[in-house]
Chain A
Amino acid sequence: AQRVTQPEKLLSVFKGAPVELKCNYSYSGSPELFWYVQYSRQRLQLLLRHISRESIKGFTADLNKGETSFHLKKPFAQEEDSAMYYCALSILTGGGNKLTFGTGTQLKVEL
């Protein structure tokens, strides 16, 4: 069965420091991975997808199939990055995609 693991419940960094939020997955098929973010009092929203290979708000994530990882990185943390971050794996099902989420990492950026 598929699984997504985010080992850190809380990650606290200082403003300007590098950030790395860890995500590992297990899936026998070809994975499609996402990072979702939930800011305080807001709904869950898509941050980025591995297929796009894009940088959003300074964040990047590279899929490493050898290590089955999809870590989220940012070189310099900003205060507004404080939020809950969820890594998710997409599984095809009947024409749609169901998401398997990790338990999330709370990122706290301190001044």
Chain B
Amino acid sequence: NAGVMQNPRHLVRRRGQEARLRCSPVKGHSHVYWYRQLPEEGLKFMVYLQKENIIDESGMPKERFSAEFPKEGPSILRIQQVVRGDSAAYFCASSPRGAQNIQYFGAGTRLSVL
């Protein structure tokens, strides 16, 4: 069991480009969470998804950010037209059905916007 896999580990984009961050949850986990960590801050909740459904996106910026967790394949966090303020570490976590309060974290994707 490889745990939660995130890729890429590091992503560099120029302002205006798109960033796609991928997260494969622990095998058998049906709940995925995305968090963002800005420099000198704690992790902040962005979105919670189950297969094919967004359950809670209260932490997502209203524009340019979107997330999905399709029936097949990894969860994707997509940031369109990136700006310098999007530079951060993005963490994905997954949890199994029935134990949703225990989350297993990936190693994160560090996004740098030039």
Contact = CB atoms under 8 A, between A and B. Distances in A.
Interface of A: 4, 6, 32, 36, 43-46, 49, 86, 90, 93-104
16 contacts: A4-B42, A32-B101, A45-B104, A46-B102, A46-B104, A49-B101, A49-B102, A86-B42, A93-B48, A94-B48, A96-B31, A96-B48, A96-B50, A97-B100, A97-B101, A100-B45
Interface in B55-80: 55-56, 58-59
Give the interface SS of chain A, mostly helix, strand, loop or mixed. strand
A104 B43 CA distance: 9
B90 interface: no
Contact of A86 (B31, B43, B58): B43
Contact of A96 (B3, B4, B33): B33
B56 A43 contact: no
B41 A103 contact: yes
A94 B55 contact: yes
Contact of A103 (B35, B40, B95): B40
B103 interface: yes
Contact of B43 (A49, A93, A96, A101): A101
Nearest to B32: A96
Contacts of A36: 105
Among A32, A90, A98, A101, find the residue whose CB has the most chain B CB atoms closer than 10 A.
A98
B106 interface: yes
B35 A43 contact: no
A98 B45 contact: yes
Contacts of A44: 43, 91, 105
B108 interface: yes
B14 interface: no
Contacts of B55: 93-96
A108 B64 CA distance: 39
